Structures are given as C-alpha cells and as structure tokens.
Structure 1
Amino acid sequence: MIETISQIVLGLLSIYILYKFIQSIQLVPTQRAYIVERLGNYHKTLGPGFHALIPFFDQVKYRQDLREETIEVQPQECFTKDNVKVEVDGVIYLAVIDPVNASYGITDYRFAAVQLAQTTTRSIVGTMNLDDTFEDRAIINKEVVKVLSEMEQAWGIRVMRYEIKNIYTPKTIQNAMERQMTAERERRATIAKSEGIMQSTINDAEGEKKEIINVSEGEMQRRINEAEGVAEEITELAEATAVSIEEIADALSNDKGKEAMQMRLAEKYIGQLSKLADDSNDIIIPTDITNYDDMIKGLSLDKISIIPDEEKK
C-alpha cells in the first residue's frame, strides 16, 4: 500500500517536473515581448524566436503585444463654456514601445490611457462654446494626444492619435441647431438670389453699353469711309483736271491746236446764241452778218476774257 502511494507520488512528481521543463521552452511570435522574472525579480525580456528558461527559477510574468491597438473611449458627459451638456466619445490608437515599463510602470496602461483621455477631453470642452466643439475637433484631438504623450516614458507606450467619434447634444439643442441651420440656409439662398439678380442687371447694362459703343463705332467708321471716299474722288478729279489742262496746254502750243480750239469756241458761241434764242423766243443775229470771218477771229484765244455772272445776266 505504501509502495503504491510512493509510486503514485513519484509519478506525479515526474510529470510535474516534465511539465516544468516543457514550460521553460518559449517560442515568442513576431511583434511580441515576454517579460521573464527569476525568483520574483525582473530578469530579461524575450524577443521573437526560441528561448529556453531555467525551470523553477525563471517564469514568464507578462506577455506584451507590440502592435498598434485601438481602444474605445466610452461616452462621457461634458459641459461646454456656454453651459450646454454634451456626450463625447472617441478612440485611442496606441502601441507598446517599452515592454518593461508597460508591465511594471503601471498596472493597466489601457485603462489609464482611457481615463486620462476622458479627463483631458472634459477639460478642453469646458473651454469651448458648443459651436466650437463641432468645428475644432482637431484641436481637442491634438490636446489629448499631447497630454497622453507626456506619459509615454513612464508607461512604456506611444499614443499615435486620438479621434473623437461623436458629440451628442440634447434634443432641445438639436432642434435649436436645426432651426439655426435652416435660417442660415435661407439667408444664404436670399443673398445668392440677390447677387444673381445684381449680376444679371450688370451684365444687361454691360451688353447695352457694348452695343451702343459698337453702333457708334460702326457709324463713325461709315462716316470716315464716306469722307475718305469723297476725298479720294476729289483727289482723282483734281488729278484728272490737271492732266486734261496739261494736255490742252500741249495741244495749244502748235498752230493746228489753236485752230481747233477756235473752231470749238465758235461752235460753243453759236450754240449759246441758239440756246438764248430758244429760251426767249427771240432771234439773235450779229450786227454785221456779212463779216463772219471777222466775228470768228474775234473769238481768238488771245481775246477771250471771263465775263462776270452779273454782266451775263
């Protein structure tokens, strides 16, 4: 009986010793850190890989995850500067950078980070008006991260960022904000409509102005073109007259030209006499009809003079 009990105790002791030897073999995964204590004191930190410990002396006390983790901050009541009660919740993104401090520097760094984030959020919201809490979320996030960063070395963690998820307001405040937003939209719509009418009026006036300018410029250009046309016509007529006078002068420089001109003047003289006779129903004859040659000689170019209009009458 005693031998049987001894064998059972010996067997259990062997199993326990074997279990301890197996337990002393540690396989640490990537992005993990194991804190080993020897006889109750911190001994070393095990990184990723295979490790063998001394049974009964060494013990893995803490297992820390070095990956970035997300911790939710539960909704909490805050009072704004204008005495409006709101509920604010958020999310903390942090990671363990010092496994030893994360294990021994604080009992629970997750709980501590959440509590510090809540108290900091309450303090910051208390310095803002209600409208500012919605517009300046980035400021609240930045301040919470700043406060948490002051505890990084002591707690062995690093806060990557903090984000406010929601800001809940009472129903009465929501109704008042909705009415305010509606009034603001109507005001903006009225301003936009008036600006549109004003711009339309300005555009119409600009269009009429440009039309009047174009018409006046067109009229001015037409008159300029007509004046230039008349000037060119006068110039061409003067040039043609000058050319004809030069040709007549060249023709009169010889005897035959003079005879032809005297003949032409005689024809003109006789034509004028017949025209006067037709107009007055009178007969006009020279004083000496028998002396036709002397009358023609009297029309010589050398004796022609310009008769004033008064004498012609």
Structure 2
Amino acid sequence: MIPTEFDTDMLVLAIWGVIFLIFIVNLFRSIRLVPTKSAYIVERLGKYHSTLDAGFHALIPFADKVAYIHDLKEETIDVPPQECFSSDEVNVEVDGVIYLSVVDPVKASYGVTDYRYAAIQLAQTTTRSVIGTLELDRTFEERDLISAKVVEVLDQAGASWGIRVHRYEIKNITPPETVKNAMEMQVNAERERRALLAKSEGDKQSKINRSEGVKQEMINLSEGEMQRRINEAEGKAQEILALAQATAESIEKLAAVISAPGGRNALRMQLGEQYLSKLNKLGKAGSRVVVPANLVDFQQWMSAIGLQEDKTTN
C-alpha cells in the first residue's frame, strides 16, 4: 500500500510532537529544587560542571544533567555479621554499625564507586585484623579499642572518599556455643568464689566485731569497778576526815569547857552519872561487874577513872 500525502503529514506531525514533548520534559527537568542538607552533582556534556546547594537552580536542557544526588545528613550503615578469629584461635561472629556523613560531594561521586560499600568492607577488614591481635576475653572488654581503630582507618580512607566517619559501634560479639557454655561456667564459678569470699569476710568481720564488743564491755566493767572503788575510797576518806574534824572540834570545845571555871567538876559529875548508869544496865543484863571496894567513896571512883577534884574550885 503506497502512503498517501495525508499519512506523510501525520507522520511528520507525530515526529515533531515527540520532539516537542522531549523538549518540554527536558525543560522541566532542567529546573531543580535542591532540599536542605542535600547536594546535586551536575555534569555538562559528560564532564563535572558544578555542585548545586540547597535552593532553586536552572540547568541547560540537553547539556546539563544531575549525575549524583547526595544526602549530607549523618546516616547509619549496618555492617553485616562476619567471622573473626581471636589470637587464641577462637572463632567469633561480629557485627556493627557505622555513623558517617558526606562532607565533599565531588569526592564522594568520583573518588570511589560506592562509598557505603567501601566503608562496610574496610570496617570489616579492620575489625578482623584488630580482633586477631586480642584474646577472646579481651574482645569483650576492648570494644572501645576496636571501634577507635576502625574509625581511625575509615577516617584516613574517607579523606579521599569525601566522607567523615563519626563513630563505629560493635553491636554483637557472638562466640560458638561451646565457648559460650564454658564462659558461662567460668562466670558462675567466679560468682560463687566471690560469694564465698564475701561470706568468709563477713564471718571474719562479725567475729572481730563480737570480740571488740566483748573487749569493750570488759574494759567498761573494769573502769566502772575502778571508779566505784575510787568513789567508795573517796567517800570513806571524806567520812574519816569529817569524823576527825568533828572529833577535833568536840575535843577543842571539851578542852575549852574544862578550862573554864567549874568545868572540871561538871565533867566529873557527868562521867560519874554515866558510870553509874552503865553499871545499872550491866547489872540488869545479868553480867558480872567488878566494882570498887568502897562504893560510897565517890572520890575514889573518880580517881580510878583519872579525874581528881579540882582543888582550886573546892
């Protein structure tokens, strides 16, 4: 069938329509609105031209194109689990997470094919090499050392990749089941040892406290007894002193009375009265009493007890 003139015109119109549609599409695609914390890498005729920051940008249709789009915010990348051997030949499974951000979009686009994949691979190899220098027990204690070493290596490589590694964290270190069981038994044994040690220390301290209490009690009792005796002795001394002072005062008063006129005769009469009263009591009690031969001679009694009549007063 031979195409007619109408068919030819329709074909030409369709071609122009497609061309116009392609032009409109590229015109709209040349207008770019870049979000905050994002960077667009623009190539002109296949060569790097510029980096678009946040805001409105217009490109040349057909000549410019956005080759790479980078998110400048900090992102988290999971490091898949991998098998590592410690220095004592124990196989452990280690995984982690990387926190990084793009600081140079141009290097991140052209310095490495895929900076995320490269960072994961470098983190895994560095982790294997660091764990290979540690014993199994130290791998659980030296997480900070492993993380710091991985961050140091990634930072050195990231300088040419246009990225900055902020930190690397190990999520899990999983040993084999046999090693895990042995470690649990070791932990239980260590816990029991600490419990026994704590109990023995408690018993020791309890005995020390009891002995110190008994010692302090004995000291207190002895000090109390000593103080009681001291107090009794001081009381007796005060009593003796008081009696001596009273006796001395009574003697002084008696001497003063005797020295007074008629004092000696009064004393002789009082002593005689007391003497006769004492004889009366002894006689009533049935006691044997020895009396002077002459009971009537009162002067003889007084002489017997050492008191003579005062010649000066008679």
- Normalising by the smaller structure, the TM-score range is 0.7 to 0.9
Residues of 1 paired with 2:89 and 2:310: CA distance?
124
Q: Choose the corresponding residue for 1:121, options 104, 127, 150.
A: 127
Q: Which runs of 5+ in 1 are unaligned?
A: 304-313
- Residue of structure 2 equivalent to 1:198: 204
Q: Which residue of 1 aligns with 2:265?
A: 259
**Of 96, 105, 109, which aligns to 1:99?**
105
Deviation at 1:60, TM superposition (A): 0.9
Q: 1:32 aligns with which of 38, 56, 61?
A: 38
Q: Give the equivalent residue in structure 2 for 1:4.
A: 10
Q: 1:269 to 1:139 in 2, by over 3 A?
A: same
Aligned residue type for 2:151: V
* Larger displacement relative to structure 2 (160-169 or 177-186): 177-186
- What secondary structure, in the 3-state scheme, does the structure 1 residue paired with 2:33 have? strand
Cα distance, 1:185 vs structure 2: 2.0
- How far is the alpha carbon of 1:220 from its aligned partner? 1.2
Measured in 1, the distance between the counterparts of 2:301 and 2:229 equals 53
Amino acid at match of 1:240: A
Alignment check: 8 A CA contact 2:123 2:154 kept: yes
1:23 lines up with 2:24 in the alignment: no
Distance 2:213 2:173 in 1: 53
2:252 paired with 1:242:
no
1:67 is matched by which residue type in structure 2?
Answer: K
In structure 2, the CA distance between the partners of 1:181 and 1:256, relative to structure 1 (3 Å rule), is same
Query: Is 225-234 or 119-128 further displaced after alignment?
Result: 225-234
Q: Are 2:293 and 1:285 equivalent residues in the alignment?
A: yes
Q: Deviations over 1:276-297 (max 9, x none)?
A: 987545552349x56x568758
1:263–1:159 distance in 2 versus 1, CA, 3 Å: same
- Which of 286, 291, 307 is matched with 1:299 structurally? 307
One-letter code aligned to 1:212: M
Residue 95 of structure 2 aligns to a residue in which SS?
strand
Match of 1:155 in 2: 161
- 1:68 corresponds in structure 2 to 74
For 2:34 and 2:71, how far apart are their aligned partners in 1?
11
Of 90, 93, 108, the match for 2:114: 108
Taking only aligned residues, the RMSD between alpha carbons, in angstroms, comes to 2.5
2-structure distance, mates of 1:45, 1:16: 25
Tell me by how many angstroms 1:193 deviates. Answer: 2.0
Taking structure 1 as the reference length, the TM-score comes to 0.87
Residue 107 (structure 1) shift: 0.8
Q: Deviations over 1:66-100 (max 9, x none)?
A: 11111111111111111111111111111111111
Describe the SS at the equivalent of 2:61: coil
Q: Which amino acid aligns with 1:215?
A: L
Q: TM-score, normalised by structure 2?
A: 0.87
2: distance between equivalents of 1:301 and 1:210? 70
Quick one: distance in 2 between partners of 1:229 and 1:207? 32
Deviation string 1:262-281 (CA, Å, 9 cap, x unpaired) is 32243355567778987545
Separation in 2, partners of 1:186, 1:79: 30
For residue 257 of structure 1, report the CA deviation from its aligned partner.
2.9
Whole-angstrom CA distance in 2 between matches of 1:120 and 1:265:
125
- Within a 5 Å distance, the mapping from 1:149-228 to structure 2 comes to 149-228=155-234
CA spacing shift, 1:281–1:239, aligned 2, 3 Å: closer
Q: In structure 2, what is the Cα distance between the partners aligned to 1:294 and 1:126?
A: 131
Conservation of the 8 A alpha-carbon contact between 2:279 and 2:289: no
1:301 is displaced (CA, Å) by 8.0
Match of 2:55 among 38, 49, 68: 49
Kept in 1, the 8 Å contact 2:78–2:97? The answer is yes
Structure 2 contact 102–108 (Cα < 8 Å) conserved = yes
Is the contact made by 1:265 and 1:299 (CA closer than 8 Å) also made in structure 2?
no
Determine if contact 1:73/1:92 at 8 Å carries over to the other structure: yes
**Larger mean Cα displacement after TM superposition, 45-54 or 241-250:** 241-250
Once the two structures are TM-superposed, the CA of residue 2 in structure 1 deviates from its matched residue by 2.3
For the residues of structure 2 that align with 1:61 and 1:253, how far apart are their CA atoms?
145
Deviation at 1:52, TM superposition (A): 1.1
